[in-house]
Amino acid sequence: MDARLPAFRVTIRRRVSRRLALAALALLAACSSSPLGRGQLILYPEADMARMGAAAFAEMQAQTPVLRQGAKSRHVECVAAHVIRALPGGDPAQWEVRVFDDPAVNAFALPGRKIGVYRGLLGVATDADQLAAVIGHEIAHVTARHANERVSTQSLASSGLQVVQIATGTGSPAQQELFGLLGLGAQVGLILPFGRAQETEADLLGLDYMANAGFDPRASVTLWRSMSRVGGERPPDFLSTHPSSSARIAELEARMPAALRRAESARSAGRRPDCPR
Ligand SMILES: [Zn+2]
């Protein structure tokens, strides 16, 4: 009997502390909301998320060659800089943008203001406005803290709240799991999907961002249409991890009148991006 008592006490204590933890988490979750007003579970300080993002970004650059000069990288940097400058307090110097020399039709963003664009995407996003739609979408994943939300939800589900601590140690299974949570697969080019609500939010917020920079928001619809045409036997990676093109186009169209007004006032204010390919 005596032997069982301590175990019993431990169980009680665990239950109580778990209940307290859940109550605290519920409070935290209630206090967090996305830029579009959606309630979010956000458990990690952004500084921790930024550290994880930087580690993952360094790993990506170690695995895949980066285009550092030339027309492609200049084009991507130019478009990104215009979108970033139109963000509240946006400073391109605080963001890192890289073009990966890889045929994947894809792009990604990481906490800590990191953006990756694959060379293959530039074959589908054929002008600056279309590229701005992708970059706006990726920036929105960062500003809306979608990675933090996913890591928070996942770590709560597995009741191991030490996810942040596994950022160190390259190549370990724990690190691979972390990269997966951040949206990066073990191999370059395999990008795991965010949830449907997050993807829609990135589309809508990204539309606002590109329009605020003076890009033509209608290019977002052109882009997703081209993406679905690329489809065929092997659809672009970016599509395979994102909502169906008809659903996303309908949502974009609904927000288009407001986006066109944003773009118009951006242009009146002198924001006329010029990013030659
Ligand atoms: Zn996305």
211 near 86, Cβ under 8 Å? no
Residue 118: its H or E element = strand 114-118
251 is catalytic: no
Euclidean distance between CA atoms 154 and 30, whole angstroms: 18
Residue-wise pLDDT tens digits, 242-267? 667 788 889 999 999 999 999 999 99
**For residue 137, how far is its CA from the centre of ligand 1 (angstroms)?**
6
Ligand 1 centroid to 207 CA: how many Å?
13
Residue whose tokens read 């990008």: 191
Could you tell me what percent of the chain has a pLDDT over 90?
A: 44
3-state secondary structure of 186: coil
User: How far, in Å, is the centroid of ligand 1 from the Cα of 68?
Assistant: 24
For residues 58 and 259, the model is more confident at 259
Residue 257 CA to residue 92 CA, distance in Å, equals 28
Å from CA of 99 to ligand 1 middle: 17
Catalytic residue among 77, 138, 149, 201: 138
Q: What ranges do the domains of the chain cover?
A: 1-31, 44-268
Name every residue whose Cβ is closer than 8 Å to that of residue 6 and which is 6 or more positions away in sequence: none
**CA distance to 83, 132, 171, 194, 222, per residue, from 138 (Å):** 11, 10, 25, 11, 17
Query: Is the confidence at residue 35, as pLDDT, over 80?
Result: yes
pTM: 0.80
CA-to-CA distance for 24 and 143, rounded, in angstroms? 24
Bridge partner list, 110:
114
Give the model confidence (pLDDT) of 215-247 as tens digits. Answer: 999 999 999 888 877 755 555 556 666 667 788
Buried b (16+ CB within 10 A) or exposed e, 199-217: bbbbbbbbbbbbbbbbbbb
The CA 141 to ligand 1 mean position distance, Å, reads 7
How many helices and strands in the chain, by DSSP H and E?
Answer: 10, 4
User: Residue 47: is it exposed, middle or buried by C-beta count within 10 angstroms (0-12/13-18/19+)?
Assistant: exposed
> What is the 242 CA–ligand 1 centroid distance (Å)?
6
For position 164, what pLDDT does the model report? 42
238 CA to centre of ligand 1 in angstroms: 8
d(CA 267, CA 74) in angstroms, rounded, equals: 22
Q: Can you tell me the distance from the alpha carbon of 97 to that of 70, in angstroms, rounded to the nearest whole number?
A: 14
